[in-house]
Chains A and B, each alone.
Chain A
Amino acid sequence: MAKTLPKTDVVIVGVGWAGGIIASELTKSGLNVVGLERGKERKTEDYFMVHDELRYALRYELMQDLSKETITFRSNEKIRALPMRQYGSFLIGDGLGGAGVHWNGQTYRFLPYDFEIRSKTVEKYGKGKIPAEMTIQDWGITYDELEPYYDKFETMAGISGEENPLGGKRSNPYPTPPMKKTPAMQMFAEAAGRLKLNPYMVPSANLSENYTNPDGISRAACQYCGYCERFGCEYGAKADPVVTVIPVANKTGNFQIRTHSNVRRIMHKGGKATGVLYTDVTTGEEIVQPADIVVVTSYVFNNVRLLLLSELGRPYDPATGRGVIGRNYAYQVIKGSAIGFFEKQQFNNFAGAGALGVSLDDYNGDNFDHSELNFIHGGVVSLGQTGARPIQNNPVPSGTAAWGPEFKTKSLHYANRALSIGTQGASMAYKHHFLDLDPVYKDVYGDSLMRITFDFEQQDREMSKFLAERCSEIMKEMGADKVDYLKELGPYEIMTYQSTHNTGGVMMGSEPDASAVNTYSQMWDADNVFVVGASSFPQNAGYNPTSTVGALAYRAAEGILKYKDKGGLLV
């Protein structure tokens, strides 16, 4: 029999970005909050020896231990799903702060188009533009409605940036000025200018200068140390939950964090959650934490998995298209890129920061005409300088041998002579891309793993080819002596790192029939359950997701406070 603890106002499942934000907002308003986090405690002092590429980038020091839990994957329903036995396509966060600790900090807002993609596409190009099996939806909330929450997230994190000429309207400028511009970024910006494009500095959660936020949290400026993505920041310069929102929650005295607590079920009765069941992973003990409100912020995969394991909400059935939990899984199409080799110039490629770069949105959203194109949407185009660490960065021109003297000579020669331009292609939802419980494989507690059914579609192949060609044009304009770029996307595969931008499965919308949560991330089927994260994106935009996750978390926190007052569905 599980031990039952005293009831709390709110229990939060997973203390990463979404969980941390909600904890800080609710505890500031006086609610008692318990945060259950499966991983360990984390602090900045842990990163004294962090400039270690092998340990953090290749052995995944900070990520989920796959021996305990992974996902299974298949390209389509005809194939047997098999476990992702080793890391590849995405890297799942674990421990206090979640993936928010080892992210890059590129903090883009989505475009107004993204939130109303179906209606705007139909309006401009007609119904025929959207293939029958493409299940994209409007979010039920517009950019303008979400704007104040973006602003809150950016102010909390101290985002460094400058206005995007093609972005949505802003109520305030970025709280800190843009990062420094490297010679390579300067070349990109100038080339883009000559091509009549609209470059701007990547909005960055690596601080351009010392910053104190409205909660009184002070952080130091980024040192461009080049060990950002996959690493924790030894300066606390990179906004992560551990150095921003979690200390604010702790200070109120209303927040109790329990690490090493793996939540396994949401307990519910008659359409209301009563609390959660978790395992103390240090003792194996099963514990029930009763709560008035349950907030699920355990990242996309476990958000969906916990609902399905708990039999809460209507599971998606791909055969009929009915049900919502697991529906509209999407990703990011990032392979459309170009790499340029410069004979006469060397760059400080070893230096950089996770969100250091220049971007442009001329080929993102509906900022360009799609009438003659076989795809919708597009993606942000960027030249980033994130620190080219030597094990993982050995670019050589196409046609070079993969090993031996030629590889060695060329990889040394080009180590500081190659630049790349990348894109983050949007990922549309399809009827046959979804998440459900794997019938065979289990985690270390005996619970079914999440199963992903996903592949790239014609839309993705056309879009990434188009984007790669645009990247190559800019690279040529920058004066590269040789440019290689993606010619053919190929199938989706689970082995190569692409991005940790998984989305969907608990999608947001204005109608209970076609969505799992409303725009406060409140479940239609259980009004005291809030499921927050990129799991609520109906499809993915052409940017990194976290700014939007943060905005939705601030909005959810507001909704929870309203709900605590009045109860019932908030919309």
Chain B
Amino acid sequence: MDRSDKKKSPEQRAVDRSRRKFLVNTGYALGGIVVGGALGTLIGRKPAAKPAPANPREAGQAAPANYNRALMFFNQEQFRIVESATERIFPEDENNPGAKSLGVAFFIDHQLAGEWGFNGRDYMSPPFYTGEKEQGYQGRLKRREIFEIGLREMDNFSMTRYEKSFVELTGEQQDEVLKAFESDEVKLTTISAGGFFKMLRSGTLEGAYSDPLYGGNLDMNGWRMRGYPGNQMSFTAIIDKEFTEIEPASLQDHLVSH
């Protein structure tokens, strides 16, 4: 145990121990063959920086500020709509957190600010024609534009039907609005309401379950609630065993421990 280990929670130390054991157990030390894997060059190297605890709630420390929790794309109004809509899609219950406490709306905001929001790796060249269903998305609008329009239209629809903005509606009313979008009951000229809803839904799952590095899945609680162990270097020990619960680990854990 090196000195930095003493500051870690017992849980964190256990993770580190299993990782070391893994290095001993796998090809790097076994069988005497030389392997140039992604870890091969890193073995024996001291961690570059003092490992920061992945989970700020650990070890009785005051939680450091999470500077990731700010907006890159949405304005406040858009952010609130996304936060309440995704919470309806993936709601909190007695046992488990929902989209809001997992940080899904921050995740979607951050994604729209980057390449994905700009459709950076999609074929966006003209000419644009309406196609058959089987031919997939054929619009000229980028995801960030679709979100801007979609969120505005959700509010417009809420005003028309309930005379309130989306975030002021009851949960049941919000569901009605979402259903109207999902089923394309809402007819929009510029975007497909159903297509927008699909993006909202898939963005919710991405935000709940992607590595916390992207701003959602706060403290890996999305993974924890479904028994998903996240980034583990090896499952050799349990692959042929009965279901095994494993405390999740993140990419940050991986970075600081190698």
Contact = CB atoms under 8 A, between A and B. Distances in A.
A180 B228 CA distance: 21
Contacts of A234: 37-39
Contact of B228 (A210, A415, A493): A415
A49 B28 CA distance: 18
Contact of A52 (B98, B135, B211, B227): B211
Interface in A175-227: 180-183, 210, 212, 218-221, 223-226
Nearest to B41: A45
Contact of A412 (B89, B119, B225): B225
Given A73-B135, A440-B127, A403 B239 contact: no
Nearest to B42: A48
Contacts of B91: 404-405, 408
B41 A67 contact: no
B134 A75 contact: yes
Contacts of A218: 33-35
A385 B116 CA distance: 30
B242 interface: yes
Given A212-B33, A235-B37, A54 B210 contact: yes
A66 B175 CA distance: 35
Contacts of B115: 59
Nearest to B241: A348
B240 A182 contact: yes
A415 B35 contact: no
Interface in B75-109: 88-91, 93, 96, 98
B103 to A, nearest CB: 14
A85 B235 contact: no
A79 B132 contact: yes
Contacts of B244: 348
> Do most interface residues of chain A lie in helix, strand or loop, or is the interface mixed?
loop
B88 A85 contact: no
Contact of B235 (A48, A224, A237, A411): A224
Interface in A425-446: 440-442
B229 A350 contact: yes
Interface in B185-241: 201, 204-206, 208-211, 213-214, 222-223, 225-236, 238-241
A44 B39 CA distance: 9
B33 A403 contact: no
A67 B120 contact: yes
A437 to B, nearest CB: 16
A405 B37 CA distance: 43
B131 interface: yes
Nearest to B231: A51
A230 to B, nearest CB: 14
Interface in A361-412: 390-391, 394, 402-405, 407-409, 411-412
Contacts of A48: 38-39, 42, 254, 258
Interface string B116-152: 1001111111010101111111100000000000000
A356 B235 CA distance: 13
A53 B210 contact: yes
A409 B225 CA distance: 10
Nearest to A207: B27
B251 interface: yes
B254 A88 contact: no
Contacts of A120: none
B226 A412 contact: yes
B234 A224 contact: yes
Contacts of A440: 127
Nearest to B200: A403
A84 interface: yes
B64 interface: no
Nearest to A212: B33
B223 A390 contact: yes
Contacts of A2: none
B239 A44 contact: no
Interface residues of A, number: 78
Contact of B123 (A60, A84, A182): A84
B67 interface: no
A95 to B, nearest CB: 14
A236 interface: yes
Given A54-B211, A351-B239, A236 B93 contact: no
A258 interface: no
B255 interface: yes
Given A235-B27, A403-B89, A493-B133, A53 B35 contact: no
A166 interface: no
A122 interface: no
A45 B214 CA distance: 22
Contact of B254 (A49, A210, A491): A49
A347 B243 CA distance: 5
Nearest to B201: A403
A58 B206 contact: yes
Contacts of B34: 218
Contacts of A348: 235, 238-239, 241-244
Identify which of A347, A390, A441, A493 gathers the most chain B CB atoms within 10 Å of its CB: A390
Interface of B: 26-28, 30-31, 33-42, 88-91, 93, 96, 98, 115-116, 119-125, 127, 129, 131-138, 175, 178, 182, 201, 204-206, 208-211, 213-214, 222-223, 225-236, 238-244, 251, 254-255, 258
What are the 6 closest A-B residue pairs judged by CB atoms, nearest first?
A220-B27, A351-B235, A346-B243, A234-B38, A223-B234, A54-B210
13 contacts: A46-B38, A54-B211, A54-B214, A74-B132, A218-B34, A220-B35, A226-B235, A234-B38, A235-B39, A348-B235, A415-B227, A416-B227, A493-B135
Interface of A: 44-54, 58-60, 65-67, 69-70, 73-75, 79-80, 82-86, 88, 180-183, 210, 212, 218-221, 223-226, 234-237, 345-348, 350-352, 356, 390-391, 394, 402-405, 407-409, 411-412, 415-416, 440-442, 491-495
Given A82-B138, A220-B31, A350-B235, 6 more contacts: A44-B40, A210-B33, A234-B38, A403-B178, A405-B91, A495-B134
